[in-house]
Amino acid sequence: MKGNVLVGQSGGPTAVINASLAGVFKTAKERGYNKVYGMRYGIQGFMDEQYVDLSDHIKNELDLELLKRTPSAFLGTCRYKLPEIHEDKSVYERIFELLDKLDIEVFIYIGGNDSMDTIRKLFDYSLLTGAKQKFVGCPKTIDNDLAITDHTPGFGSAAKYIATSTKEIICDAMGFSYKKKNVNIVEIMGRNAGWLTGAAALSKSEDCEGPDLIYLPELPFDIEGFVEEVKKLLEKKDVVVAVVSEGIKTKEGKYVCEYAGADSLDAFGHIQMSGTAAYLAQVVKNELGCKTRAIELSTLQRAAAHLASKIDVDEAFNVGGATVKAADEGSSGVMVVIDRVSDDPYQSATGVYDVHRIANGEKVVPRKWINKAGNYVTEEFLDYVRPLIQGHYTPMMVEGLPRHLSINLKNYDWSAPRGK
């Protein structure tokens, strides 16, 4: 009889991260694994023995379908960086002690760059110690910055939400355009990669002009040049909509959000981005004397399951299943990747790739996909993104609101014996 599967979710959630979890659970059961345990709050919670048997919470096909439509991390997530093996071996001894206790045969981690680093380190430790477990990474990030894979689950739905929201912001701004100049600056997530910011250009269509300016973090940002661009546009039109990445920085390497006072750091030592649009809106107001508005989409970009792309949900589910298949067929120390087979009609397939080539890497928008002026994306960029936002999963509505699956642990006895 096969052993058990352990799955966790890590880093920033997405609208479809739970579709991958559903794919892991369903495929593990179909392939004959005994139990599928879910880590509560990723590897950090697991080290505190926070885990659940997913069969207690996913009891039928309806639960599985609800899970696919549920935003955020169903299991809870964390931002925890494992030390290097030589720095603190005791951390690894603790993890592998628990893996043995639970008879874990397959360890799956759903996440982005830092999560793949976790897979890399655990796999390397298993090689050093001869541990039996297999370690497979399941890609997830709205930022779309994982190396090797054509794109990541979560990106398509976030792009769809951003394009839709940009379109609605433009409609709102146009309603106040009579004899009144106004500038709207929209801030989109993306520290070093501008995939999400560029997706705002999808809003340009027969019924919408789209944003006037788009600035990605791949190129240095000139604050004075930005104000001059806005000034020129206001000479021709009454409403200007600019979209900026939260991670834009000057040629000196300083993030624009730092001018707004952002200085707090996350668990990995990264500046916590916020305030880029607000700072630029104030600069424009001071320099040009017009009405300005800053819109920060913030966590809405990764929580909008009601607007998830069908392509994205289906691929996330398939990728989750593919992680189990990869381990079941002998792979370890790998991440499942998405390969684009064709654009018209759009088709994709899954494969596996050495996680050492992916962990801690970063895929950014190619320079050729940004226009010469550096203030918009090209048609080639849009051709890449457009297939990923297609289709829609209708939420299961109850009393006018979408119903989600949740873990009820209010009366859960964490001290009760658990394991094999």
Q: Token digits for 406?
A: 């949740």
Query: Rounded to an integer, what distance in angstroms lies between the CA atom of residue 321 and that of residue 316?
Result: 9
* Rg of the chain over all Cα atoms, to the nearest angstrom: 23
Please give the span between the terminal C-alpha atoms of the chain, in angstroms, as a whole number.
12
Query: Rounded to an integer, what distance in angstroms lies between the CA atom of residue 392 and that of residue 387?
Result: 12
Query: Rounded to an integer, what distance in angstroms lies between the CA atom of residue 6 and that of residue 413?
Result: 20
Name every residue whose Cβ is closer than 8 Å to that of residue 267 and which is 6 or more positions away in sequence: 79, 80, 81
| Residue from 117, 143, 145, 314 carrying the catalytic annotation | 143
88: annotated active-site residue: no
> Which residue type, as a one-letter code, is found at position 316?
A
Which stretches of 290-333 are assigned E, i.e. beta strand? 291-296
Tokens 């910011």 belong to 197
Rounded to the nearest 10 degrees, the angle between the axes of helix 17-30 and helix 61-68 is: 150
Q: Is the Cβ–Cβ distance between 125 and 91 less than 8 Å?
A: no
Q: Which residues are catalytic?
A: 143
